[in-house]
């Protein structure tokens, strides 16, 4: 009877939690977050040399005073630029679905941060500089669409496959959210593997809260098979970190093995080839989730909390 009572209690608490989350999401859906997506990429694609002054007036931050107009006009006429812009227009004839996702993000940001104001959103191209796919500040969100043409696109043939895998339009709002997460996050040190794990765990948990309409696989940039592998092997991964005493290790090689973008994580075991990269980030994510569930703290506070406090209070236990 006692076991049955605890089961019923757990189910009841889960139901109440889900019901509360549903109420919050309904409230968030009523928040106004109006904005227009400005297609600078399209405007530049369609512009003629005589339109340059108009473009410079509308988007002065894209034109350096050190660069003469002749160079910009040459870029307008350049065949490679024309091909790049054509591919972008073909992939993004409109921006409706992504705009809806960005609106959802902004609604959540306004709910959790009362000081947040909806930024100006501008799309552009940046010669496939994939390390700068999106840029965010207090008033602007810049999205370089030539980095989201699809994993198998011909422009990405010289880019590592594990990086190109996330160069698709479904990842745009994920990348924008990641930029915002970094703005809200703070911690004094990032010296140990645990520091790094929880830093990236915070960024991923921020996505849980701000873009709940995206899947866990999309939030971390895994395939569905990779996220299932991480879930199935969570206990084994955690045991490895504990047995090897890696959590407080400051070896600079550890982030490259378990945190940085890579085709697989480096345990130096047979399971390496089956594993996705960034499993340290994945475990950090589970620790931060456990902390949030245990303490009930709001997302803004969590993003400012030191990693050791998060770890101590999370009482993290991996899935069996």
- Contacting residues for 171 by C-beta, under 8 A, at least 6 apart: 148, 218, 221
pLDDT, residue 6, reads 45
Identify the pLDDT of residue 13: 47
Q: Do 164 and 128 meet the contact criterion of CB atoms below 8 Å apart?
A: no
**Nearest-CA neighbor of 296 among 284, 313, 281, 282?**
313
The residues that bridge with 262 in the sheet, in sequence order, are none
What's the pTM value of the predicted model, to 2 decimals?
A: 0.92
Question: Among 37, 63, 42, which Cα is nearest to 52's?
Answer: 63
Instruction: Please name which of 318, 291, 317, 320 lies closest in space to residue 304, comparing C-alpha atoms.
Output: 291
Q: What's the token pair of residue 219?
A: 């939030």
DSSP-H helix ranges across the chain: 2-29, 40-46, 52-58, 69-77, 79-91, 96-112, 161-164, 172-184, 193-210, 216-220, 224-232, 234-243, 253-258, 279-295, 299-304, 307-314
DSSP string, 189-254: ---SHHHHHHHHHHHHHHHHHH-TTS-HHHHHT--HHHHHHHHHTHHHHHHHHHHTT-TT---THH
Q: What angle do CA 279, 281, 285 make, to 5 degrees?
A: 115
Digits of tens for pLDDT over the chain (320 positions)? 555 554 444 455 455 555 677 889 999 999 999 999 999 999 999 999 999 999 999 999 999 999 999 999 999 999 999 999 999 999 999 999 999 999 999 999 999 999 999 999 999 999 999 999 999 999 999 999 999 999 999 999 999 999 999 999 999 999 999 999 999 999 999 999 999 999 999 999 999 999 999 999 999 999 999 999 999 999 999 999 999 999 999 999 999 999 999 999 999 998 898 999 999 999 999 999 999 999 999 999 999 999 999 999 999 999 87
Judge whether 167 and 147 are in contact, CB under 8 Å: yes
pLDDT for position 15:
53
What pLDDT is stored for residue 270 in this prediction? 86
Tokens of 200: 């990236």
Joined tokens for residue 301: 């506070």
pLDDT tens digits, 83-125: 999 999 999 999 999 999 999 999 999 999 999 999 999 999 9
């Amino acid at each position: 009877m006692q076991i049955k009572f605890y089961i019923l209690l757990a189910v009841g608490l889960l139901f109440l939690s889900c019901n509360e989350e549903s109420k919050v999401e309904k409230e968030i859906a009523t928040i106004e977050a109006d904005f227009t997506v400005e297609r600078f990429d399209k405007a530049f694609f369609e512009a003629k040399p005589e339109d340059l002054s108009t473009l410079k007036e509308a988007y002065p931050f894209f034109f350096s005073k050190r660069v003469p107009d002749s160079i910009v006009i040459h870029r307008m006429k350049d065949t490679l630029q024309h091909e790049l812009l054509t591919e972008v227009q073909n992939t993004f004839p409109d921006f409706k679905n992504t705009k809806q996702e960005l609106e959802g993000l902004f609604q959540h940001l306004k709910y959790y941060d009362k000081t947040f104001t909806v930024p100006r959103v501008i799309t552009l191209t940046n010669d496939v500089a994939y390390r700068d796919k999106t840029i965010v500040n207090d008033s602007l969100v810049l999205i370089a669409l030539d980095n989201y043409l699809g994993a198998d696109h011909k422009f990405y043939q010289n880019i590592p496959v594990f990086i190109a895998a996330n160069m698709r339009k479904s990842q745009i709002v994920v990348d924008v959210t990641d930029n915002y997460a970094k703005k809200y996050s703070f911690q004094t040190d990032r010296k140990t593997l645990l520091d790094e794990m929880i830093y990236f765990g915070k960024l991923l948990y921020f996505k849980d809260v701000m873009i709940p309409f995206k899947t866990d696989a999309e939030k971390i940039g895994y395939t569905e098979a990779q996220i299932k592998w991480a879930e199935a092997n969570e206990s084994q991964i955690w045991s490895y970190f504990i047995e090897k005493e890696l959590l407080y290790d400051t070896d600079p090689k550890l982030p490259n093995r378990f945190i940085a973008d890579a085709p697989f994580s480096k345990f130096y075991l047979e399971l390496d080839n089956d594993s996705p990269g960034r499993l340290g980030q994945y475990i950090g994510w589970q620790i931060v989730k456990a902390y949030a569930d245990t303490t009930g703290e709001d997302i803004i506070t969590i993003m400012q909390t030191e990693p050791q406090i998060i770890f101590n209070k999370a009482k993290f236990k991996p899935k069996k």
